[in-house]
Structure 1
Amino acid sequence: MGAPMDMLAGLGDNASLIIFLVVFLVAATVLKELLRRNRSRHYRFRPKARGNFRPDWKVIARNGEDQALASASEQLRRVMAADFKSRALLNRSETQVFKALDAAVVARNPSWQVMAQVSLGEFLSSPDRSAYAAINSKRVDFALMDADCRVRHALEYQGNGHHQGSAAARDAVKKEALRKAGIGYHEVVAGHTTPAELRRLIEKLVPHGC
């Protein structure tokens, strides 16, 4: 009886070892897959000589494209599920100012145009990406564009409640960016600027043309 019992005991030890090895291999495989997925969500770098690194731009571009595609797909899904309707670009008082400005600009120089609600990122550029991001989505109420389609002056309509919250800080950012780009900044105050005053302002800002 001693020998069979010893054989069973040995078999039990082997079975425990086999189970341990199987569990270890499964855990290692899962960990490897998690690490691979984690790396795919970040920039991959390949080592160079002397401990320097350079980015694998092909991987970065591919990951960026994949993320952009996924984001666009999600945006499309949400848009398809929602309802939309048209609305006025300007409110009533802004519309009155726009019409007065447009009439004054056309009378002064027909080659110039008045644009409304223009994003600064559309007519300003900067080699500093973070600085550009700070102004990209900010808008000016009105922009005076010359015959070469360059914005020469920005006009901000200061309506009722304009300076609430962080409006003053946002205006300061816009003013500084416009100043550095050599673009004029002018304020039109609600209730204190008449069509005649707007015409005089346009005569100062827009050169006379045929």
Structure 2
Amino acid sequence: MPHEIIALIDKPWLLLAVLAVGAGLGMLTERLAEKANKTRRKAWWPTRNRSKFRARNSGNGALGAEIAALKGAPSARRFPDASDQLRIVLGAQFRARPLLNKPEQRLLAHLDRTLAREAPDWRAMAQVSLGEILASEDREAFLAINSKRVDFLLVDAASRPLHAIEFQGTGHHQGSAAARDAVKREALRRAGIGYVEIASGDTPAEIGATIRKLREKAS
């Protein structure tokens, strides 16, 4: 047996001290190792979570699309340009269809005859886009009316819009028609353009009286 061990056995207090120091060093080493492991785990988890989040939302899901939009990423949807539109048109078939239905054709004929008699310098135009006769600095307001149309528009000799005529045929007040008419009526009013409604049951005499009143008011 080595001399150093025999000396420690002969002095029990010294042996206890050595054992205590060894145990303390062992505990300190273990704590330092555990702390290092915790530090590595803390650094690894955020990276792991970010990777999982990107993988989960990198597809076509709604959340992934919203995040891409918020980051300013270009949208996957692209509106066709002129060449795309030509390609689409070349691959399709088209057919002509009447601008007006039968009741509207009859009304236009009545308007033409009445204008020739009551207001020869006025003309009636059919299916006129509001975006062609109204302008606004408010882009949102303009987009709200740009694609809307009036059934007929009375213009003067210089093609200035005077009065819009809405034909209230059978089934006109279906769905959101009333709300659309309200939008058109208010936009026209703000531009100083008149708004007149003619019902499908109005007689030629009643239509003539309506035009005559408009002409007298303009005079």
TM-score computed with the length of structure 2 as normaliser: 0.62
- Supply the AA of the counterpart residue of 1:175: R
Picking from 164, 167, 173, the partner of 1:163 is: 173
User: What whole-Å deviation, never above 9, does each CA across 1:88-115 have from its counterpart, x for those lacking one?
Assistant: 1100011101100111012222221000
Q: How many residues align?
A: 146
Instruction: Map Cα deviations across residues 142-170 of structure 1 (whole Å, 9 max, x no partner).
Output: 10001121110000001111111111110
Q: CA deviation at 1:84?
A: 1.2
| Residue 196 of structure 2, aligned match among 186, 199, 208 | 186
Moved over 4 A (4+): 38-42
Deviations 1:38-57 (A, max 9, x none): 97949xxxxxxxxxxxxxxx
Letter aligned with residue 161 of structure 1:
G
Distance, in Å, in 1 between the alignment partners of 2:148 and 2:110 is 24
What is aligned with 1:53? Answer: none
Q: Which residue of 2 aligns with 1:202?
A: 211
Identity %: 55
Q: Does structure 1 residue 97 correspond to structure 2 residue 107? A: yes
Contact 1:109 1:207 in 2 (8 A): no
- What is the Cα-based RMSD across aligned positions, in Å? 2.2
- Matched position secondary structure for 2:81: helix
Distance 1:115 1:96 in 2: 14
- CA deviations on 1:169-199 (whole Å, 9 max, x unpaired) are 10110011011011111111112x1111111
Residue of 140, 148, 155 corresponding to 1:145: 155
Aligned mates of 2:85, 2:129 — CA distance in 1: 22
Secondary structure of 1:156's aligned partner: strand
Letter of the 2:112 counterpart: D
Q: Tell me the secondary structure at the aligned position of residue 189 of structure 2.
A: helix
Q: Name the larger-Rg structure.
A: 2
Query: Counterpart amino acid of 1:168?
Result: A
Confirm or deny that 1:116 pairs with 2:126: yes
Give 5+ residue unaligned stretches, structure 2.
1-70
Instruction: Give me the whole-angstrom Cα distance separating, in 1, the residues matched to 2:197 and 2:120.
Output: 23
Query: Is the CA contact (8 Å cut-off) linking 1:108 and 1:207 kept in structure 2?
Result: no
More relative contact order in 1 or in 2 (CA 8 Å, sep 6+)? 1
Kept in 2: contact 1:105–1:206 (CA 8 A): no
Helix, strand or coil at the partner of 1:157: strand
Q: Show CA shifts across 1:23-81 (max 9, x none).
A: xxxxxxxxxxxxxxx97949xxxxxxxxxxxxxxxxxxxxxxxx77x522221111111
| Structure 1 equivalent of residue 183 of structure 2 | 173
Q: Tell me the SS of whatever aligns to 2:84.
A: helix
Whole-angstrom CA distance in 1 between matches of 2:72 and 2:174: 45
SS in 1 for 2:137: coil
TM-score normalised to structure 1 length: 0.65
